[in-house]
Structure 1
Amino acid sequence: MTHPWFAGSTRPRVLAHRGLVTAAAAAHGVAENSFAAVAEAHAAGAAYVESDCHLTADGVVVLFHDADLGRVTGDPRPIADVASAELEDLMADRGGLITLAQALDAFPTLRFNFDVKAAPAAAPAGRIVAPHADRVLLTSFSDSRRRAALAAAHAAGGSPATSAGSSTLARVLAGAAAHSGRVLDRVLRGIDALQVPERRGALKIVTRGLLEAAHRRDVEVHVWTVNDPADMRRLLDLGVDGLVTDRADLALEIAADRDR
């Protein structure tokens, strides 16, 4: 059965990576994963926003990619050492801090893809998304964090969609290389999507074989992070189901052209 996160939205899916920061917005200091970036993605027509979860010193789940504030604010402290009120001040002229709860409440028509970046954020994130589980996909590079977040959501009465973590993906790739349907059936049970880079070093991950293996089991393949229009078209021609991109505005235009 298809999870509601996928239902009612056509492919290819465009996932606005950390929201959308246009050149004009960047010139005004807007940062990724800010309230303004999510709002910009929504205004551009994106149905999906990809973001990341960390936990502040006072236990608030915020949308932020890095474990520390250095790259975005110039402050080297870890997010885990900063209270949410202070983080709000630091982000005030960078598009505004957005918490996980605020994202779900302020943008009720958006569907979110949340990557749990820190173990302490897993359980609180799961509990927060539970009432909104029909429009949330929870994931993490760490399968243990992913499972912890899902378990908390389930305990709170919600069943978000999910995509494979790194160890699960490694088993999928091994099963696909061995043409082992039994392994793939087992490993992909309970997985709704594979969200992957096109390649990792010399290893090509997104192949026709992987796409066929995933699609045979009703699992979608979303590729990150794809910003070049030629790459977008090439991957969509190959048969991928979604693009995670910093240029959601361009990807939406390309997706619309394919529907004409």
Structure 2
Amino acid sequence: MSAVRTIAHRGCAEQYPENTVHAIRRVAAHVDAVEVDVRRCASGELVVVHDATIDRVADRCGRVADLTYADLADCDVLDTGDGVPTLEAVFDAVPSDLALNVELKETGLADDVAALAGGHDHDVLVSSFLVDALHESRGVAPALDRALLFDDDRETPLDVAAEIECTAVHPSVARCLATPIVERAHERGFDVNAWTVRTVADAERLAERGVDGIIVDRRDLL
């Protein structure tokens, strides 16, 4: 059995403050890649935050799209003493030999993500549940690797991934374990990274299925 890559979901959100430079620095030596979520704030910068609002992770409330970067930088995210980071700050914090998975949480980000990726030496994978966001990425940066995220509800995901010219697919753990999606994806030339893996038992079952990577909230599952 080949080695399975460990991808730190939001920087291993169960162990460290999610989507923060603090988390990336703590987890970098222990994983093969870091995954972060990206949105655009009101002043135009790409910022790293999962939800459409900052209510769950910060000491203030509001929609990311309505807040300037000055507002977001002035927050305290999950008691780190730091604000919401820009994607550029995350690129700078990730060691160049560590891969970076940028999940697009909305459309209209592809140009800026491609520009940042082009200015750094990291292996970059752009992923999204949003087909339009991946279409945009293919249009502005066709050489940038892409991955389609999907759960149990999306039909014909491999056909969709092929249309967008993805190099990988990111199915849910349940989809990987309950269907032959891993084998079928490999037959069509896709890498398979399963999300979000939360138990050792699931990690072992997925490794037996032949997944290429597991997206985890804890770095010590494998």
Alignment TM class, shorter chain as reference: 0.7 to 0.9
Deviation at 1:206, TM superposition (A): 4.2
Q: Does 1:37 align with 2:29?
A: no
CA spacing shift, 1:213–1:132, aligned 2, 3 Å: farther
Match of 1:190 in 2: 165
- Specify the alignment match of 1:4 in structure 2: none
SS at match of 1:42: helix
Matched residue of 2:141: which SS? helix
Asked if the contact 2:135–2:164 (Cα under 8 Å) also holds between the matched residues in 1, the reply is: no
Question: Residues 182 and 211 of structure 2 are in contact (CA less than 8 Å); yes or no, is this contact kept in structure 1?
Answer: yes
Measured in 2, the distance between the counterparts of 1:81 and 1:221 equals 35
Of 98, 101, 114, the match for 1:126: 114
What SS does the aligned partner of 1:91 have?
Answer: coil
Are the counterparts in 2 of residues 133 and 161 from structure 1 also a CA contact under 8 Å? no
Does residue 218 of the first structure (1) align with residue 203 of the second (2)?
no
Partner of 2:134: 146
Whether the 8 Å contact between 2:58 and 2:76 is mirrored in structure 1 is yes
Specify which structure has the higher proportion of helix.
Answer: 1
Report how far residue 145 of structure 1 moved.
Answer: 0.9
1:170 to 148, 155, 174: 155
- Alignment TM-score, normalising by the size of structure 2: 0.85
Aligned length: 216
C-alpha displacement at 1:77, in angstroms? 0.8
- Label 1:170 to 1:20 Cα distance change in 2 as closer, same or farther (>3 A): same
Q: What are the residue-to-residue correspondences of 1:40-59 with 2, within 5 Å?
A: 40-43=26-29, 45-59=30-44
CA deviation map 1:157-195 (0-9, x unaligned): xx221112559x63246xxxxxxxxx69x9367221110
Unpaired runs of 5+ residues, structure 1, are 1-9, 26-30, 174-182, 255-260
Match of 2:200 in 1: 229
Deviations 1:179-226 (A, max 9, x none): xxxx69x93672211101123xxxx45456322222123211111111
Structure 1 residue 82 corresponds to structure 2 residue 53: no
Corresponding residue of 1:15: 7
TM-score (structure 1 length as normaliser): 0.73
Q: CA-to-partner distance for each residue in 1:74-105, whole Å, 9 max, x for gaps?
A: 53311111111221120364363322112222
- Unpaired runs of at least 5, structure 2: none
Change beyond 3 A, Cα 1:15–1:95: farther
